[in-house]
């Protein structure tokens, strides 16, 4: 691995730095940071920085110039001040479980690992909040709140490992976000530092705060606006009961329409997931969840609340699903059975890993009513690109996770897989959706942002970033594509037709 | 009224424009706008523009250069494009009920009245949303949703007249926002135009939207970032039942502590209001609400929900209030009695108007536990400034509305009243609160922003505004004070001690 690995970064140097240039810069940065951090918090030898070369998006790798592992806020402040003075890019990193390369290092930058900020500062059962450091794991919050029958709702699949700081950066979702919202709906306050090392707070534990309300803008900003060190999150009471319906359909269109019908009936299930036949086949072989292997698609549809609420909602949902053409309906009779239903869904990714050397997970969204259309479009793409695709969707909120199966060691398959992925994203946008539901843009979807947004919209997002980080030192080269990059991408693409832009620009 | 009235505007010209300069500019703007608007949508004669010279903050008045009354989005776009091309300031205006001068005209600017955007576009009882034009009155939304037993929750006192566009600009609250949130918690999507006349959307009807999440930043931005023309709002089911407790206290400290005790017990009342003895005396004389005139302070504490929930919550709240030292507790036995309890609170402002030629309403916030402290501090200020003050507080969320009574025709009283108001705001900030809870900053609290925020914080807010409006044409001179203005304000003030800044900068 060398610095010559080309960064998919908009603001990366035109040519990669030479080894000598990199070494000189490294010595300068290490020396400056040594004044503030003890030796064990500072890594720069290749064998020490290599573990940080990528996050959950392993296709792109880059050793950072330096890794810092601060333990206190004043050390974070010192790192930021030092980097700002030297104009060194800073990439913040939590657990490194992100799927879009948001924590991928910069060749000439510092990776600021916040893993040691792992303390739960307080749990307040009366106000139903927890104050936690940014490196606390998502699931650890719920564990700490469990004695009061409370929990933190957003549940990304990586919740056993991913940190709340990373969740804030990516505005993470999860199976239950249809009912309980994304990170942005469950975080009250974010504390951290600006690129200059100034302490800053967004939001508050009160209903409102003075000044512009930038909490929502910072959540999901992928480390581009500020560095988070602490957060106050909302806790909610554990539902008394949860039950899950497994419904089979002999036709993907009927299954897609059933999802739209459930929501149109005014029901917000606690979770509403869809898997197609190739996906259930792969999963069933792995975890024996008891899925109907004859179905073209199955839905998992959960209700939670008091026993009375669950009984009523399960009844109404079953009715809607039956009317929509479900060929079989099974309702979990106990917690063990409910967990078994979910075990399949939660193991969809590893199950795909068992049947293919590699897979690429997409994350686009579409309006619910287009679920069947996108499934049929993906089926056509399988023929066009000669690759298989398993589909597992957060169907209730229209968030797709198609898993394109390929072999990364076959350059032609890799290329076809990339085209397949881009096609899914562009088709999603054309159907009125977006390129990312919950995994973030990072480096992965930078090109697709050219499809999603106009030049003016991307310029506007740069202007907003510049209000926080004029020199562009925080996580540069990610999330927002430059005009040049979009022009290049347009040239690269061989497009069948027009790209459908949303009617209105949106920030 | 002439253009020589000094604007309390940070970016107002150093010297007021001469009558000739103003007339020339007016002719130029009118001519340019005439190309896009029919004659009846364009006002510039003094007798036509004078009705627009102020909003609900009548102390500051300024005739606008021109008033536009567009009826379509393309006309709004044309007005903005024209003004942008000529670099003319634009002040958007709804019903003009704002209390902080947010819609006060600019001497050389266009007032963009959106009063004619008064159509309810759709009510969707299944998704529980309404799509409305910006000029729709707050109460009209609830009226349109009433057939489905739904309503729009935020209820500013002006709700019969104020518009949703104005509510969005000010992030309006109301008596029930303690439980149901402010405007920012009840609006899903805002559609409008940038200063350049480009269409723009913030938020969406889905859980999330691509790009930076700027919906919350735009809500409460007081017309400084964009012009709103349409919104999608959340509707919620009308509670089956509401009952209200009236509790008397023989000591303001006990009443203040009782408010903190209710919240600390984990109860979020539908409303939790506090009035002191001078206020209840003024009110009772006016509307005969049945208030306890022997009490030093009374609390109104409401519960709503199903009959079972209300019964349980009223029981728990009564217990907490009794333990906190309430000398009498009355619970409304029917809807008529409940409305009678509230009639006093809702008529607090006009009741003050009956006992004093003028009154100034403050709007600061404090942490709930400091309620008694601020009441005692205000009592001291009454002696210091030799003016009376009636106190009516949204106590549950720590939002104060002290009403300082004075005679505007007595310049010394006016001056003392201004000092009294500034003292309340600064004392609130020193106690850990803010200068504005729900009325906005506008022109009224521009100086107090120098107390609330540091120079760097105000500069940061300007940077954010510049990302949307680089030339500063949208509602200039309001909300964010310039460095010069704060320096001037510091010189003007005779201060007893240090100004307590919050520990951390906040946006």
The pLDDT tens digits of the residues spanning A250-284 come to 999 999 999 999 998 989 999 999 999 999 999 99
Q: What is the pLDDT of residue A399?
A: 93
Cβ separation B463–A460 shorter than 8 A = no
DSSP state of A506: B
CA distance readout (Å), A320 to A47, A242, A253, A326, B446: 57, 19, 15, 9, 55
Bridge partner list, A247: A299, A329
Higher pLDDT, A496 or A32: A32
Cβ separation A181–B212 shorter than 8 A = no
Position B3 pLDDT exceeds 90 = no
Distant-in-sequence, close-in-space partners of A228: CB < 8 Å, separation ≥ 6: A92, A114, A134, A165, A168, A169, A190, A191, A192, A218
Cα of B268 to nearest chain A Cα, Å: 10
Averaged pLDDT, A148-161: 94
Tokens of residue B507, six digits = 């946006």
Tokens of residue B309, six digits = 């929930």
Distant-in-sequence, close-in-space partners of B278: CB < 8 Å, separation ≥ 6: B388, B389, B390, B391
Q: Tens digit of pLDDT for each residue in B203-225?
A: 998 877 888 999 999 999 999 99
- d(CA B469, CA B464) in angstroms, rounded, equals 9
CB contacts, 8 Å: B461 with chain A: 211-212
Cα of A2 to nearest chain B Cα, Å: 33
- d(CA B69, CA B81) in angstroms, rounded, equals 15
The neighbour count for residue A307, using CB atoms within 10 Å, is 11
Q: Tens digit of pLDDT for each residue in B262-278?
A: 998 989 999 999 999 99
CB contacts, 8 Å: A126 with chain B: 264-266
Task: For B442, name the nearest residue in chain A, comparing CA atoms only.
Answer: A211
Q: What percent of chain B has pLDDT over 70?
A: 94
**From A216, A266, A460, residue closest to B216, measured CB to CB:** A216
Could you give phi then psi for residue A481, rounded to 5 degrees? -80, 145
Q: What is the pLDDT of residue B366?
A: 93
Q: What percent of chain A has pLDDT over 70?
A: 94
Q: Judge contact between B66 and B27, C-beta under 8 A.
A: no
CA distance readout (Å), A460 to A54, A222, A465, B213, B480: 29, 17, 9, 13, 22
Q: What is the pLDDT of residue B57?
A: 87
**From A178, A200, A217, residue closest to B214, measured CB to CB:** A217
Cα of A302 to nearest chain B Cα, Å: 18
| Confidence band of B175 (pLDDT split at 50, 70, 90) | confident
Cα of A461 to nearest chain B Cα, Å: 7
Cβ separation B210–A506 shorter than 8 A = yes
Cβ separation B211–A182 shorter than 8 A = no
| Confidence band of B489 (pLDDT split at 50, 70, 90) | confident
Exposed/middle/buried for B327, CB within 10 Å: 0-12, 13-18, 19+? middle
Position A505 pLDDT exceeds 80 = no
Q: What is the pLDDT of residue A492?
A: 54
Radius of gyration of chain A, Cα coordinates, nearest whole angstrom? 23
Place of tokens 């409006």: B469
The neighbour count for residue B112, using CB atoms within 10 Å, is 25
Position A493 pLDDT exceeds 70 = no
**From A125, A204, A464, residue closest to B467, measured CB to CB:** A464
**Nearest residue to A36 (alpha-carbon basis) of A197, A192, A231:** A197
Cβ separation A212–B507 shorter than 8 A = yes
Position B7 pLDDT exceeds 80 = no
- d(CA A52, CA A47) in angstroms, rounded, equals 10
Torsion angle (degrees, nearest 10) of CA A187, B256, B330, B280: -120
Cα of B262 to nearest chain A Cα, Å: 11
**From A126, A216, A460, residue closest to B266, measured CB to CB:** A126
Q: What percent of chain A has pLDDT over 90?
A: 79
DSSP state of B175: T
**From A178, A184, A191, residue closest to B213, measured CB to CB:** A184
**From B125, B200, B206, residue closest to A507, measured CB to CB:** B200
| Confidence band of B316 (pLDDT split at 50, 70, 90) | very high
Beta-carbon pairs below 8 A across chains A and B: 152
Q: What is the pLDDT of residue B15?
A: 61
- Residue A379 half-sphere exposure toward CB, CA atoms < 13 A: 12
- d(CA A172, CA B427) in angstroms, rounded, equals 40
Q: Tens digit of pLDDT for each residue in A407-433?
A: 988 999 999 998 999 999 999 999 999
Cβ separation B434–A209 shorter than 8 A = yes
| Confidence band of B60 (pLDDT split at 50, 70, 90) | confident
| Confidence band of A10 (pLDDT split at 50, 70, 90) | very low
- d(CA B244, CA B314) in angstroms, rounded, equals 8
Q: Tens digit of pLDDT for each residue in A169-179?
A: 999 998 889 99
Q: At what angle do helices A411-430 and A371-385 cross, to 10 degrees?
A: 150
Place of tokens 């292997």: A293
Torsion angle (degrees, nearest 10) of CA A332, A337, A341, A347: 160
Position A5 pLDDT exceeds 80 = no
- d(CA B196, CA B214) in angstroms, rounded, equals 18
Position A435 pLDDT exceeds 70 = yes
Q: What is the pLDDT of residue A209?
A: 81
Position B503 pLDDT exceeds 50 = no
> How many angstroms from the chain centroid is the CA of residue A188?
20
Averaged pLDDT, A484-490: 84
Q: At what angle do helices A335-346 and A348-355 cross, to 10 degrees?
A: 50
- Residue B397 half-sphere exposure toward CB, CA atoms < 13 A: 28
Cβ separation A208–B506 shorter than 8 A = no
Q: What is the pLDDT of residue B346?
A: 86
Cα of B329 to nearest chain A Cα, Å: 25
Q: How far apart are the first and last CA of chain B?
A: 37
Q: What is the pLDDT of residue B12?
A: 43
| Confidence band of B182 (pLDDT split at 50, 70, 90) | very high
SS3 content of chain A, % helix, strand, coil (to 5): 40, 20, 40
Q: Judge contact between B247 and B275, C-beta under 8 A.
A: no
DSSP state of B408: T
Structural domains of chain B sorted by starting position, each given as residue range(s) with its CATH number in brackets: 22-113 (3.30.43.10), 120-237 (3.30.465.10), 242-431 (3.40.462.10)
Cβ separation B213–A216 shorter than 8 A = yes
| Confidence band of B136 (pLDDT split at 50, 70, 90) | very high
**Nearest residue to B106 (alpha-carbon basis) of B245, B233, B213, B8:** B8
Position A502 pLDDT exceeds 90 = no
Q: Judge contact between A408 and A360, C-beta under 8 A.
A: no
Q: Tens digit of pLDDT for each residue in A329-343?
A: 999 999 999 999 999
Cα of A348 to nearest chain B Cα, Å: 24
| Confidence band of A1 (pLDDT split at 50, 70, 90) | very low
Position B498 pLDDT exceeds 80 = no
**From A184, A210, A398, residue closest to B434, measured CB to CB:** A210
Q: Mutating which of A188, A194, A210 best tests the B interface, going by the most B Cβ atoms within 10 A?
A: A210
Q: Judge contact between A390 and A425, C-beta under 8 A.
A: no
DSSP state of B365: B
Higher pLDDT, A319 or B11: A319
CA distance readout (Å), A293 to A244, A251, A278, B34: 18, 13, 9, 69
| Confidence band of A12 (pLDDT split at 50, 70, 90) | very low
Position B493 pLDDT exceeds 70 = no
């Amino acid at each position: 691995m060398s610095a010559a690995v080309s960064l998919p970064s908009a603001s990366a140097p035109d040519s990669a730095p030479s080894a000598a240039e990199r070494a000189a810069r490294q010595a300068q940065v290490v020396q400056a940071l040594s004044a503030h951090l003890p030796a064990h918090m500072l890594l720069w030898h290749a064998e020490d920085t290599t573990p940080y070369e990528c996050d959950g998006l392993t296709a792109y790798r880059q050793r950072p110039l330096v890794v810092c592992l601060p333990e206190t806020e004043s050390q974070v402040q010192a790192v930021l001040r030092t980097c700002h003075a030297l104009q060194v890019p800073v990439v913040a990193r939590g657990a490194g479980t992100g799927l879009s390369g948001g924590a991928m290092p910069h060749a000439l930058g510092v990776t600021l690992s916040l893993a040691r900020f792992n303390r739960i500062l307080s749990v307040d059962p009366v106000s139903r909040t927890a104050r936690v450091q940014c490196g606390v794991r998502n699931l650890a919050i719920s564990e700490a709140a469990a004695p009061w029958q409370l929990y933190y709702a957003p549940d990304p699949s990586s919740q056993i490992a991913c940190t709340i700081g990373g969740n804030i950066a990516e505005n993470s979702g999860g199976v239950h976000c249809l009912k309980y919202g994304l990170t942005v709906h469950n975080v009250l306050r974010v504390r951290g530092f600006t690129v200059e090392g100034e302490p800053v707070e967004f939001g508050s534990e009160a209903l409102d705060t003075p000044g512009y309300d930038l909490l929502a803008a910072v959540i999901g900003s992928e480390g581009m606006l500020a560095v988070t060190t602490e957060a106050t999150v909302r806790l909610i009471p554990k539902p008394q009961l949860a039950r899950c319906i497994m419904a089979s359909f002999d036709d993907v269109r009927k299954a897609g329409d059933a999802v739209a019908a459930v929501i149109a009936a005014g029901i917000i299930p606690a979770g509403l997931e869809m898997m197609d036949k190739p996906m259930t086949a792969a999963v069933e072989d792995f975890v024996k969840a008891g899925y109907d292997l004859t179905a073209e698609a199955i839905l998992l549809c959960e209700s939670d609340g008091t026993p009375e609420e669950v009984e009523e909602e399960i009844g109404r949902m079953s009715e809607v699903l039956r009317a929509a053409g479900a060929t079989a309906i099974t309702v979990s009779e106990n917690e063990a059975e409910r967990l078994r239903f979910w075990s399949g869904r939660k193991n969809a990714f590893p199950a795909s890993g068992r049947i293919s050397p590699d897979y690429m997970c997409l994350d686009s969204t579409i309006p619910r009513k287009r679920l069947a259309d996108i499934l049929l479009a993906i089926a056509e793409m399988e023929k066009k690109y000669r690759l298989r695709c398993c589909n597992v969707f957060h169907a209730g909120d229209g968030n797709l996770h198609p898993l394109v199966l390929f072999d990364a060691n076959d350059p032609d398959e890799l290329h076809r897989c990339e085209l397949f992925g881009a096609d899914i994203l562009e088709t999603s946008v054309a159907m009125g959706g977006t390129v990312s539901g919950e995994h973030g843009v990072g480096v992965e979807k930078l090109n697709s942002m050219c499809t999603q947004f106009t030049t003016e919209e991307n310029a506007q997002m740069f202007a907003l970033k510049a209000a926080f980080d004029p020199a562009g030192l925080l996580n540069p080269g990610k999330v927002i594509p430059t005009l040049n990059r979009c022009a290049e991408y347009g040239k690269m693409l061989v497009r069948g037709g027009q790209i459908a832009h949303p009617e209105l620009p949106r920030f």
